[in-house]
Amino acid sequence: MNQPSPPRWVTPLYIAALAAALAVLGTILFMGISHNPWPLDGDIADVTINLGGTPVREHCTSCHPEGSTATGSPHPDIAPHETAELGCTGCHLGEGMALDLVVSHGLPGNGARAILKKKDIQASCYRCHPLQPLAGAEKAWNGYRLYLQKGCDSCHPLAGLQQSGRYAPDLTAVGDHLGIDQLVTAIRDPDREPVNSTMPRYPLSKRQARNIALFLKSRTARPLFQTPMAQLQKKSLLQPDDLFPGSEQLSPGQALLQRKRCIACHRYNRDDGRIGPDLSYSGLLRTDKYLADFPGDPTALIGGTRMPAIRLTATEQRLLVKELRQNADRLQQTRLAKAAEGRDLYMLLCQRCHAADGNGLGPIAANLAQMPRAFANNRNFFADKSDKELQQSLAQGIPGTSMPGFARLLSPERREMLLNLLFKAFIGGDRYAKRRLPELPPKPEFALTAAAGQQLFQQYCIRCHGRSGTGRGPDAARLRLQPSPRNLTNTGYLVSRSDNQLLRAITYGVPGTAMPSWLGELNEQQIWALLREVRRLSMGEQP
Amino acid sequence: MNGPQRNFLDHLHPARVRLRSLHPKTTLGLGIAALTCLGILLITGLTLLLYYLPDQQRAYERILHLTTTLRFGTLLRNLHYLAGNALLILAVLHLARVALTAGYRGRRLNWCYGLLMLFLIFAGAFTGYLLPWDQLAYWALKVGSSLADYLPLLGHPLKVFLLGGEEIGAETLLRAFAIHAAVVPCGLVGLAGLHLWRVRRDGGLAAPSETPAELPARPWLYRAEGSVALITLTVLLLLALWLNAPLGERADPGHPPNPAKAPWYFVGFQEMVSYSATWGGVIIPSLMILFLALLPWLDRRERGGGRWLAPGARPWQLLLILMLCSQLVFIAIGLWCRGPNWSWVWPPGGG
C-alpha cells in the first residue's frame, strides 16, 4: 500500500494553535489573579438584612463603608432608623447584589431600581409609613396632596384611597416599575409613550410633577414593614376639607365642584384647571338634564371624551345644576352684558377651544374628543357651509361634541355679531359668498352588501379612522393629524348629520382636514356602501 | 506514537485516515469546532450551575452576583454565552457543509441525529436566554413563544409545555432551567456520541471512492482536530474578553421595550411574521423544517457524497443556500432595520 507523505502543515498549525491557546489562557489567568477587580481594600461586604421578614442581601458597603458617600462623607444620622438594621437598598434601592458602578446604581431604562439620593430618598418613606405628614418627607407629602387635588384619582386606581377611577393604569405598584425621572416624564409628557395615551397634559410645574413622582415612587406591591392587613386598611388621612384649605367659606355648590375635583381640569370663574372646558357659563349652554347626566356617563354624550365618569348622588346632581345655572345667570347679567363687541364675546366664550388667533388650537383643544374647527386659513370649509348651518351650529351647538349651543346665553343679535367677527377676523372674505356645491353621487340602483361596505372601510379608512372607527388609526397618532380623524362611533354627532353631509365628506373630502376626496378612487356604489358602514359603526351595531 | 495503545479516543477514531479528510477544504473543521463549543458549554455551564437559582425573585440578583462579584465570573458568563451562540452558528454551518458536499448520502440516519441535535441546540439557546430573568430575556421569550403559536398543531402545545402555562411565570423559569441544565446537555452529549460513532461506523468522512491513499490517524488526525479545537477555544476566549453577554434591567412584565425582539436567531421569523402571519409564521417555517428533514430522501442517490456541489444534488443545494441566505437577510433586517412599532429604520441601527 502506498502511503502518501503526511501533510506538512498539520504539525506547525497544531503547535501554533497550542501556543496561542496557552498564551491566551495564561494571560487571562494571570490578569484575573493579579488584578483585583474589587473596590477599596479588596474585601467584599456581603450582608444579609432582615427587612420586615424578608432577607435582603447586599454588597453595598464594599464601596460605601458604613453608608458613607463615594467622597467619604459619612451617612447622616437617621435616628430613629439605623443603617445597620435597615441596610441600604431598603431606602436607596439600586441593585445590592451587583458590585460594579453601572449596574449597582440601576441600569438605564425604566429606572425601577435606579438609586435614590439626597432629597429623592423621601420617595421611600411612605413605602412603610402610613400617609400622614412626616418630617423630611414634605415633598412626597405635597405630591400626595397634589395627586388628590389634581384629581389623578378620578382616573387612576390606587389601592387604599376612597376614590378610584377605572379609566387609567393602576398605580398601586407603580413604584416597582418606574424610576422618578420616568414618572416625571410620564406626568409631564403623557403621550410620548404610548403615543395614543388619553391622559391630558396637566399644567404642572417641574417641581410639582417631581413631588407627585416622589409620592408615586412610594407605591409598591410589597412594602417592607407593613402587614398585608395594614396595607388593605391603609386609609388616606386627608379629608377633602384638609385638601382644599378655606373651602368652608365656599357655597355648597362651589364646595361640591371642588370636592369632586371638577376644578382640577375645568375652569370655573377664577379657578382654572386648564384641561377641560369652562363651566362658568354651562348652566345656560346645556340643558339641566344634560348637566345632571353628563358627569356620570360623559362618553354617552360626547363620544371619545377624556372626562372620567364622576358618580354623583341625586342630591349632588341637583346641587350641581343649581350652582351652574345660578352662576351662568349671574355672569350673563354682569360680565357678558359688559362685553360690547364681538371680540370681547369671542375671548370670553370661544378662545379656550378655538384659540385667540382662530386656528382651532386653543389652550384646551388637544384635550377635547374632537378638535375644534379652525377658522383661520380654513376659508374653503366655510365656503361650503350655508349660512343657515353656521347659525344653527352656533345656536344649537354640535351634538356629540364639546361645542355647546349659545341660544340661551346670547341674543340673536349677539350671535350675528360673533359670526360676523369670525369672518372678518379669521375666515376672511364675504360671509354670504358660498361655493356652488358639486353634485353628490346618486343612490345606486343596486347597493353593495354590508359585508362589502365593511371590507371597503377596512381597505380605505382604517389607516386614519382605525379598525373600529374610533378615529385612532395608526396614521392618526403617527402623523399627529390635526384635526384628528372623526370618531365614527360617536353616535350623538353622526345622528345629527344628514346622509348628504356624510356623502359630501366622503366624496369630496373635508377642506382644512386630512380627509381626502375619494371621488376618483371609489364609484357611487362603493361610496354609498361606505356611508352605510359609517351609519352602522355610529349606531354600535354588530356586523 | 504509533504504538499499540488503544485508549477511548482511539476507539472513536479510525486507525487510518484519508489524506483528503485532513485537508481544511474538506470539512472546514466545523464539526470539531462545534464539538469544542459543546465542551466549553458543559464546563462553563457546570460552573454557572453552582451560583444560579431558578427563582423569579433571586435569579437576576444571582446573575449580578456572579458577573460582578466573582473572580472570572464575567468571563465565564461571556464564554458560556458566546460558546452557545457559536455552537448554534457552527451547527448550522456544519449542516450546510454536509448538505453541500452531499455527505448525507448513504448516511441518512446520521443526518437525522444531526438535525435532532440542531433542534436541541436551539432549545438550549432559547431556554438559556430566559435564565437571567431580565428585560431582554423576558421579552425575547415572550416574542419567541408567541412565534411558536403560529406553528400549526404542534405550536401551541409546545408553547404551553415550554412555558408551563399560557403565560411566562415562575413555572417557565423552572422549566427553562430544567430543559437548559438537564435535558439539553444530556441529549446533546448522548446524540453527539451517537453522531460520532455513526461517522466511524460509516467508514469515516464521506469521500469519493477514488481516493484510497491513507495515513495513520495517529498523530495526524489528532493534531488536525486538536488545532481546530484550540483555535476555537482561543477565539472564544479572546471574544469573551471584550464581548459582554447582554444584561438588561430586571424583568418587568408590564413594560415591554419597544420594539420587543426575539433572540437574534428567531428575529428572522419575527420579521417574516410581520409581513404575513400565515406565510411567515406557518407555511414557510414548516416547509423549511420539512425540507431539512427530508433532504437526504429528496436527493435519491446513495453514493458519491463527499465532494463539494456533488452532481445530482445541486438543485437542492441551491435551495438550501437560498434558504439560509434569505434567513440571514431577514435576521439582519429584523435586528438592525426595525425600530419602535417594528417600523423601518434607515440607516441600520439609527433612529
Work out the percent of chain A whose per-residue pLDDT is above 70. Answer: 94
Distance from CA of B295 to the nearest CA of A (A): 34
Q: What whole-number distance in Å separates Cα of residue B335 and Cα of residue B270? A: 10
When pLDDT is averaged across residues A454-467 and rounded to a whole number, the result is 91
Q: Count interface pairs A-B at CB distance under 8 A.
A: 108
* Residues B17-33: tens digit of each pLDDT: 887 777 888 888 899 99
pLDDT at residue A119, as a whole number = 87
Q: What whole-number distance in Å separates Cα of residue A46 and Cα of residue A334? A: 74
For residue A433, give the amino acid letter: A
Q: State the DSSP code for A57.
A: E
**Would the pTM of this model clear 0.80, i.e. be above it?**
yes
Burial class (CB in 10 A: 0-12, 13-18, 19+), A201: middle
Q: What whole-number distance in Å separates Cα of residue A331 and Cα of residue A219? A: 44
- Residue A123: CB atoms within 10 A of its CB come to 27
Comparing CB atoms, the residue among B64, B228, B255 nearest residue A97 is B64
Q: Which residues share a beta bridge with A48? A: A57
Q: Closest by alpha carbon to A158, among A126, A196, A190?
A: A126
Comparing CB atoms, the residue among B61, B230, B249 nearest residue A110 is B249
pLDDT at residue A534, as a whole number = 92
Can you give the CATH number for the domain in which B146 is found?
1.20.810.10
Residue contact A104–B68, C-beta within 8 A: yes
The answer to whether the complex's ipTM is over 0.95 is no
Q: Do the domain assignments include residue B276?
A: no
Residue to mutate among B250, B252, B341, B343, with most A CBs inside 10 A, is B250
Say yes or no: B223 contacts chain A, CB-CB below 8 A.
yes
Q: What whole-number distance in Å separates Cα of residue B246 and Cα of residue B263? A: 11
Q: Domain count of chain B?
A: 1
- Residue A162 scores a pLDDT above 90: no
Q: Closest by alpha carbon to A363, among A355, A373, A375, A374?
A: A355
Lowest mean pLDDT of A113-117, A242-246, B38-42, name the range.
Answer: A242-246
For A22, which residue in chain B has the nearest alpha carbon? B234
pLDDT at residue A440, as a whole number = 87
Comparing CB atoms, the residue among A24, A32, A110 nearest residue B234 is A24
Say yes or no: B288 contacts chain A, CB-CB below 8 A.
no
Residue contact A97–B252, C-beta within 8 A: no
Contact B303, B208 (CB under 8 A): no
Residue A177, C-beta contacts closer than 8 angstroms, at least 6 positions apart: A110, A112, B252, B254, B255
The mean of the pLDDT values for chain B is 87
Q: Do the domain assignments include residue B27?
A: yes
What domain range includes position B211? 11-253
For B227, which residue in chain A has the nearest alpha carbon? A14
| CA B65 from centroid of its chain's CA atoms | 28
| CA atoms within 13 Å, Cβ hemisphere of A149 | 22
Q: Closest by alpha carbon to A494, among A361, A304, A283?
A: A304
Lowest mean pLDDT of A311-325, A440-454, B84-98, B318-332, name the range.
Answer: A440-454
pLDDT at residue B351, as a whole number = 44
Q: Do the domain assignments include residue B336?
A: no
Residues of B in contact with A57 (CB under 8 A): 61
- Residue A151 scores a pLDDT above 90: no
Q: Do the domain assignments include residue B102?
A: yes
Q: State the DSSP code for B249.
A: S
Contact B249, A112 (CB under 8 A): yes
- Residue A525: CB atoms within 10 A of its CB come to 18
Q: Do the domain assignments include residue B181?
A: yes
Residue contact B65–A104, C-beta within 8 A: no
* Residues A369-383: tens digit of each pLDDT: 888 999 998 888 998
When pLDDT is averaged across residues B141-159 and rounded to a whole number, the result is 83
Say yes or no: B78 contacts chain A, CB-CB below 8 A.
no
Residues of A in contact with B19 (CB under 8 A): 4, 7
* Residues A224-263: tens digit of each pLDDT: 777 666 666 655 556 656 777 777 788 899 989 988 889 9
- Residue B306 scores a pLDDT above 80: no
Q: Do the domain assignments include residue B105?
A: yes
Q: Do the domain assignments include residue B317?
A: no
Residue to mutate among B40, B53, B63, B68, with most A CBs inside 10 A, is B68
- Residue B314 scores a pLDDT above 80: yes
Q: Do the domain assignments include residue B241?
A: yes
Distance from CA of B23 to the nearest CA of A (A): 8
Residue contact A103–B64, C-beta within 8 A: yes
